[in-house]
Amino acid sequence: MKKLVFTALLLVGFSALPAQVQNPVSWKYEAKKKGADYEIVITATVDKPWHIYSQNTGKNGPVPTNITFKKNPLVTISGNVKETGKLEKVYDKNFSTDVLFYSSKVVFT
């Protein structure tokens, strides 16, 4: 009986442990007034050892980061989303190509 109770408690204890980090990227959003317009700034902070792929990963690479906005008749979106941060380039044998990513922080404007 003690073995059964011990096993049950052990299983319950292990089931409560997460298999991996749930949210390795935290996001911060802000709108900066630029004359009559606004500039949207999205900052992604990435926990180690995770990374976030660039919007420009190239053909045959991993799925790139994609920034989209809901349509709003009161808002006009102009220009492309720019990314700023320490861009890293590494050959990835899984994709057989160079991949572009950010390891600690990237700002999308």
Q: Where are the domains of the chain?
A: 21-108
pLDDT digits (tens, 9 = 90+) for 18-66: 566 689 999 999 999 999 899 999 999 999 999 999 999 878 889 999 9
**How far are the Cα atoms of 27, 61, 64, 103 from residue 49, in angstroms, in the given order?**
17, 20, 18, 7
Confidence grade of residue 93 (pLDDT, cut at 50, 70, 90):
very high
pLDDT of residue 49: 93
Between CA 106 and CA 77 the distance in angstroms is 21
Asked whether 46 and 24 are in contact (CB, 8 A), the reply is yes
Statement: the pTM of the whole predicted model exceeds 0.85 = no
Q: What is the mean pLDDT of residues 72-101?
A: 93
CA distance 51 to 102: 6
